[in-house]
Amino acid sequence: MASAQVTATTVERPRAYATAGAHGRARDWAEIQERMLVPLYQAVYQRLEVGAATSLLGLGCRSGLALLLAAERGALVAGVEEAPELRELAEGRGLQVAPAASAHSPAGPGEVTARSAYGLPRAAHSLVTVFEQLPYAVRPSELVADAAARTLPGGQVVLASWGPPERCESAAVLEVARRRSPRAPGHGPFGLSAPGALEGLLAGAGLRPAGSGRVTCPFAYADLDEAVRGMLSTGLYERAVEDSGQALVAKELEESLHPFVRADGSVRMTNVFRYVVADR
């Protein structure tokens, strides 16, 4: 089984924000940014006692670290990821990851199955997680309906999103994405951070609230260069890069990060993420 050990990037790289491209940003996600959400993944898995009896599907699993952590607990895991660059990295970690399928359908071109010990495919899962995808969703309700459709009766769905902006030091840094693109989604990354917002998505998908929690996820980087690359890799700046160019977006990101630079040159921001658990 592939290891979920997370280590800092040790190779010095020149600042090449403008030429990183989709593959470079995907690798930056896997090498830099993905580990920032480990406290969220682990808090959910501990609460739900994820283990050998769990068949877990990660919607929007990106490069798959959350799946690896669940697999190390004994769970059967599979993922769905739209971006081919991230999917390639997840598959390189030995994970089964499929392209995104149409909403509401548990089967079709994007169907992905965890396999049992007898090699039989599973078309639905005891746990479906949506850890990172909601801030990008144009229609979050359709994403949640898709998650519910892929969950076994009696199974659970977990939705997660950023906490209140006043509890997230990265809020000022994320503002660069809105400022640099008139096409930025109106809801932004904090569109589901208000009390009851995540819960409001459940009823329409036939899901019942079964608990919630908040998790502190420090974003810590070795230096400004790593911080800029990590934030760009989140996907929240894609439209800003398209509209204003990656060099300009990276420059403004670096300026917005200066208040969080420590005496040793490292960068640290404290953020809160919120999750809800729902029963199907």
Q: Tell me the β-bridge partners of 271.
A: 217
pLDDT of residue 100: 76
Within 10 angstroms of residue 197's Cβ, the number of other Cβ atoms is 18
pLDDT of residue 172: 94
Residue 247 and residue 241: Cα distance in Å, rounded?
A: 8
pLDDT of residue 55: 97
pLDDT of residue 103: 36
pLDDT of residue 185: 58
Q: What is the mean pLDDT of each run of 10 residues along the chain (280 residues)?
A: 42 44 93 98 98 97 97 97 96 93 39 39 85 90 95 97 97 93 72 93 95 97 98 93 92 97 98 98
Residue 159 and residue 241: Cα distance in Å, rounded?
A: 27
pLDDT of residue 121: 45
In the chain, what is the greatest distance between 2 CA atoms, to the nearest angstrom?
55
Residue 106 parent element (H or E):
none
pLDDT of residue 20: 61
CATH superfamily of 17-25+34-166+185-219+272-279: Vaccinia Virus protein VP39 (3.40.50.150)
pLDDT of residue 3: 45
pLDDT of residue 169: 98
Strand 55-59 vs strand 208-221: parallel, antiparallel, or unpaired? Answer: unpaired
Residue 195's φ and ψ, nearest 5 degrees, are: -55, 130
187-to-152, 169, 191, 215, 278 alpha-carbon distances in Å: 31, 18, 4, 22, 23
pLDDT of residue 197: 94
Strand 55-59 vs strand 267-279: parallel, antiparallel, or unpaired? Answer: unpaired
pLDDT of residue 182: 73
